[in-house]
């Protein structure tokens, strides 16, 4: 059984080592978690992004990205004249496809895990979920290593992370 898992892993490693790649990058972001639910106002989240270009050909690249976000300011929760708060933490893995060099556009598809907490009328509720995630970004490399990026990613079926961030390419 372990042998069946080893073959795809070895094929993937050999493929990755053959293609031309540029390297890794790190980023930080700050933005609004927009929950498309009645009574939920935006929460403010901060995030970190780590990525590695697996394949690059002129102005096109394919990368693997991991992103973590955490709530830095809870969102307001309002219903039936009562008030509360909510927050969300996320973890995601993506395949990212970028087109462009100095100015670029990026789309990404992957999987996200979310942890949501609410505090409403003295009762606390916590829920975890996972599912398909996707998003897009536009960015500008200010210098060879530093860049800025505007991003929107659907992290849950009804929650989008709208953010601005900085990137450092190695």
1: in domain: no
Within a domain: 6: no
The model's confidence at residue 20, banded by pLDDT at 50, 70 and 90, is low
Q: What is the mean pLDDT of the chain?
A: 90
Question: The CATH number of the domain where 101 resides is what?
Answer: 2.40.160.20
Is the model's pLDDT at 107 over the cut of 90? yes
| Any domain includes 81 | yes
* Contact criterion met (CB below 8 Å) for 36 and 160: yes
Q: Determine the pLDDT at residue 3.
A: 42
pLDDT of residue 25 exceeding 90 = yes
In a domain, residue 135? The reply is: yes
- Structural domain count of the chain: 1
Write out the residue range of the structural domain in which residue 63 sits.
21-169
Query: Per the domain annotation, does 14 fall within a domain?
Result: no
Identify the band that residue 122 occupies on the pLDDT scale cut at 50, 70 and 90.
Answer: confident
In a domain, 34, yes or no: yes
Q: Are 43 and 75 in contact (CB under 8 A)?
A: yes
Question: Does residue 4 lie within any of the structural domains?
Answer: no
pTM of the model: 0.85
Identify whether 2 is part of a domain.
no
User: DSSP per residue over 35-91, as a string?
Assistant: E-STTBPPEEEEEEEEEEEEEEETTEEEEEEEEEEEEEEPEEEEETTEEEEEEEEEE
């Amino acid at each position: 059984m372990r042998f069946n898992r080893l073959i795809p892993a070895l094929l993937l490693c050999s493929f990755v080592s053959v293609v031309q790649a540029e390297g890794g990058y790190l980023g930080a972001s700050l933005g609004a978690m927009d929950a498309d639910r009645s009574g939920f106002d935006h929460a403010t989240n901060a995030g970190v992004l780590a990525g590695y270009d697996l394949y690059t050909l002129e102005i096109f690249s394919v990368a693997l990205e991991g992103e973590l976000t955490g709530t830095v300011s809870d969102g307001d929760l309002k219903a039936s004249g009562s008030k509360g708060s909510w927050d969300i933490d996320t973890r995601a893995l993506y395949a990212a496809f970028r087109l462009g060099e100095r100015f670029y556009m990026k789309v990404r598809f992957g999987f996200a895990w979310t942890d949501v907490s609410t505090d409403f009328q003295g009762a606390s509720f916590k829920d975890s979920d996972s599912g398909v995630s996707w998003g897009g970004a536009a960015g500008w490399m200010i210098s060879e290593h530093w860049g800025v990026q505007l991003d929107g990613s659907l992290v849950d079926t009804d929650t989008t992370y709208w953010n601005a961030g900085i990137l450092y390419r190695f």
